[in-house]
Amino acid sequence: MSLPDVSSRDAKQSWFYTDAVKDHFFHPRNFMDDEAAYHADGIGMVGSPACGDMMKVWIKVDPATERITDLKWQTFGCASAIASTSMMSVIVTENGGVTLEEARKLRPQNIMDRLGGLPVRKVHCSVLGDKALRSAINDYLRKSHQTDRVEAENGRMIDRQANVTDLNIEEAVLDGAWTLEAVQQKTKVGSGDPSCIPEVEQLIRFYKEKHFGNAETFTK
């Protein structure tokens, strides 16, 4: 049976969702429906409901194999965020579950490939799930007294005047800022020290390729 279409109200904007995206939106997998009864080994959360998208992830881990045996999630977000996280939960738990190290390497591009692409303007919605997953893994490692394996979210200073690190630029790219102008709007990088701009442009290209591969192949 064909699923209802989800498309732009503006006829000039012809972006659309793939059947896989619509399937995971209308029939999300592994959604958390009873948090009180669920005993998680690790919990991660990113974003805030006050400012828009928020994601919360619960994981169960086999300590002997370090495989994620189960994953549940909840989100305040759009269709793309819901579908992306649903697909992420499938990737992480299928075939007996991935290991913690394999889960840490999961990137938005892997999720989008399985979904058949996302509209360019919705790519940023695919980043919440893997970030919340890494947060849940860190929580599990802390609770299991493996703090030496916790991955800290640090950054290298790129623009001291604007107090912008490479992590800030990566976050901007993940949020859909794929040009220098867009990154500057979000971070103000280079506004006081333009000498850093060539490095900023290199980082934008690097993070686009790292997280999203070839953006031209995305569904528009």
Give catalytic residues, as residue numbers: 51, 125
Nearest to 208 by CA among 124, 87, 89, 146: 124
Distances in Å between the alpha carbon of 37 and those of 34, 58, 84, 155, 179? 6, 12, 25, 38, 45
User: Any idea how long the chain is?
Assistant: 220
Q: Which residues pair with 47 in a beta bridge?
A: 54
Give the DSSP H or E segment for 204.
Answer: helix 197-212
Residue with tokens 């959604």: 31
For residues 61 and 133, what is the distance between their CA atoms, to the nearest angstrom? Answer: 12
Q: Quick one: tokens of 201? A: 């442009």
Residue recorded with tokens 């950054």: 155
